Each structure stands twice: as structure tokens, then as C-alpha cells.
Amino acid sequence: MELSPESIRKQLDVWPVARLATQGLNGSPHQVPIVFVGLGDCLWSPVDGKPKRAGELVRVRNIRAHPTVSLLLDHYDNDWNALWWIRIEARARVLEPSEPRGDAAFQAALAALAEKYPQYEEVPLLQDSPTLLVFDTLQIRSWCASSSAA
């Protein structure tokens, strides 16, 4: 069965992690867990200061080449009646404003991320080159094992 629209809205607000799948340059999918925040009609995810490999991130390179991505929010539980997932097909953009302080949408997303994740009091929210990924929803599908899930 599907989750209710209310449950989907709530989880997009509070669920802490999504798995982002992008299309690799050779077509094969690439996945990485991401933090995100829902704001307006979009989801936003920072290229943050958690330790990363040097060079442009694979997710950023892939989005530049193929912007259609998949975002998966899901709950695993030993009680299989509690399982649910929300899958979002989205069009992704890489935001790298030259003047981030003057970009109101960019600043609003940063504020929402800092509010959702107190961990950003210690971890840098952005790297040297301020970058956010923005996801415009194309389609949402959901599944839950029972009406008591989510």
C-alpha cells in the first residue's frame, strides 16, 4: 500500500537521511547517502564539510551530465509490518552562486539545514566553494507494508 500524503510530507520534513542515486558517465547507477532539507517545492542537500575525497564529487559530476536522479527515504525495521519507503524521481541542479550571501534562496536553504542538523554546529556546512544540490520533484512513489507503518 502507499503512504498517505500527510505521512510523505512529514517524513520529507523530519527524516534525516536519503540515498541519492545518479547516472554514471557509463550509464551505471551510483549511490551515496545524503542529508537534505525540504524547502518550498524542492529538496536541498549541501556539499558539506564531512571528510571527502579530493576533486569534484562523483554525484556533482554525474548530475551535470545527467540531471535526472532518484532519492530514496526508507525505514528498515525488524518488524516487517513497519517497513516503508518513499522514492522521489527528481531533476537535480548544482547551485554554486558567485555571491552566496546575496542569494536569498541559497541562504534560506542553509538556515533550514542548520536548523534540521545541529551537527552543523561542529561540522562545516559548506566547503570552500559554496555548493548546494537542489532537487525538483518529478514524481513521488511510496510503499508501506501496513497501515501502521510510518
Residues that bind its own copies (CB under 8 A): 1, 16-17, 19, 21-23, 27-33, 50-51, 66, 68-72, 74, 76, 78, 80, 83, 85, 87, 89, 119, 123, 145
CB of 31 to its own copies, least distance (A): 4
Minimal distance, residue 105 CB to its own copies, in Å: 25
Contact between 110 and 133 (Cβ < 8 Å): no
Which 3-state string (H, E, C) describes 74-103?
EECCCCHHHCEEEEEEEEEEEECCCCHHHC
Shortest spacing between CB 97 and its own copies, in angstroms = 26
Helix (H) or strand (E) holding 15: none
Nearer Cβ to its own copies (29/40) = 29
Pairing status of strand 42-46 against strand 132-144: antiparallel
**Residue 50 or residue 107: which is nearer to its own copies going by CB?**
50
